[in-house]
Structure 1
C-alpha cells in the first residue's frame, strides 16, 4: 500500500523541529528520518535546502507581521499606548516560537538567507520609521527624533534585546521582557 505524499506543511514542521533540536543545523538525513520521506519530496516542494529555509523565514516573518498588525491594537489609544501594546505583541510572538533563539542568535541559517533576512529587517525598519513619522505628525513624538535612525535602533534593539532576554536562565516571562524593552524604546523616542 502506497503512503500518501507528505505535504509542504509537514516538511516545514519537521524542518523547524530539526533546527530547534540541532541548534540551527539542519541535516537532510535527520529531516528525512523525522518526516519519513525521501529528499525528493523536499526538492519537489522547495527546490533546495535553501528554499526550505527561506520558506521557514517567510512563515516566521509573515506571522510576526500579522501578530503585530494595527488590527490587534486599541483603536482609540494614543501613539505610545498603541506602540506599547505592539511591543508586547512583538515580544510575545518571539517568546512563543521555539525556533527564535536559533533565528536571532545565528548570523544566518544558510549564507544564501543573509540577504532575505536583511530585506525583512529593512522592511520592519521602514514600517517603524513610517509609524514614528505618524506619531510626530500627531504631535505625540518629538520632531527632533530622526525617524529612520530611531526605527533602525528600535528594530535592532528589539531583536537583540529579545535574544538577550531568552539567554537569561530562567528566561523572564514575555510581559516582563516586553516591559524592559518598552522602557528602552520609550526613552529612545523621548516618550515620558
Structure 2
C-alpha cells in the first residue's frame, strides 16, 4: 500500500525538527530520509533550500507577531501594564519555541536569508515604534523620545537579551526572564 503524500506543512515540521536536531544545520539528505521524499519533492514545494528556510523563518516570525498582537493584551490597561504583558508574551514565545535559540544565535541560517530576516526584524521595530508613539500620545512615555530609535533599541535589546537568557545554564524561569527584560525596557523608555 502506498504511503499518502506528505504535505507542505508536514515538510515544514520535519525541516524544523531537523534544524533543532542539528543545532541549526539542516542537511537535505537527512530531511529526505526522514520524510521519505526525494529532493525533487522538496524543491517542488519550496524551490530551494533557501526557500524552505525562508518558509521556516516566515512561520517563526508570523507566530511571534501573532503572540505579541494587541488583541492578546488587556484593552483598558495603561501603557506600562500592556507592555509588561507583551514582554511576558515575548519571553513565553521564545522559551516555548525550540527554534528560538537557533534563530536568535545566528544572523541567518543561510546567507540568502539575511535580507529576509532583516525585513522581519524591521517589522518588529516598526511595531515597537508605533507602540511607543501610542504611549507618548497617552502621556505615559516621555515626549522627547525618538520612537523609531527607541523601537530599534527595544527590539534589539529584547532579541539579544532573550538569546542570552536562553543560553544561560541553568536558564532562568520565564517569569524571571520577563522581569529582567521588562526592567531594562522600562528604564530605557523612561517608565521606571
Place the TM-score, normalised by the shorter chain, in its bin: over 0.9
- Residue 176 of structure 2 corresponds to 176
CA distance in 1, matches of 2:41, 2:91: 34
Shift of 1:19: 0.6
* CA shift digits 1:21-69 (9 cap, x unpaired): 1111110011111112111221111111100000000001110111111
Equivalents in 1 of 2:123, 2:186: separation in Å? 21
Partner of 2:62: 62
CA positional deviation for 1:149: 0.8
Paired residue for 1:111?
111
How many angstroms apart in 1 are the aligned matches of 2:157 and 2:14? 31
TM-score where L is the length of structure 1: 0.98
Q: Is the 8 A contact 1:68 1:86 kept in 2?
A: yes
RMSD after superposition: 0.8
> Deviations for 1:113-136, whole angstroms, at most 9, x for unmatched residues?
000100011111011101101100
Q: 2:185 aligns to what?
A: 185
- Give the aligned partner of residue 78 of structure 1: 78
- SS of equivalent residue, structure 1 residue 107: coil
The alignment of Structure 1 onto Structure 2 pairs a total of residues equal to: 192
Superposed structure 1 runs of 4+ greater than 3 Å apart: none
Structure 2 runs not aligned, ≥5 long: none
Q: Does 1:161 align with 2:161?
A: yes
TM-score between both structures, scaled by the size of structure 2: 0.98
Instruction: Report the counterpart of residue 53 of structure 2 in structure 1.
Output: 53
Shift of 1:2: 2.3
| Matched-pair contact (CA < 8 Å) for 1:6–1:41 | no
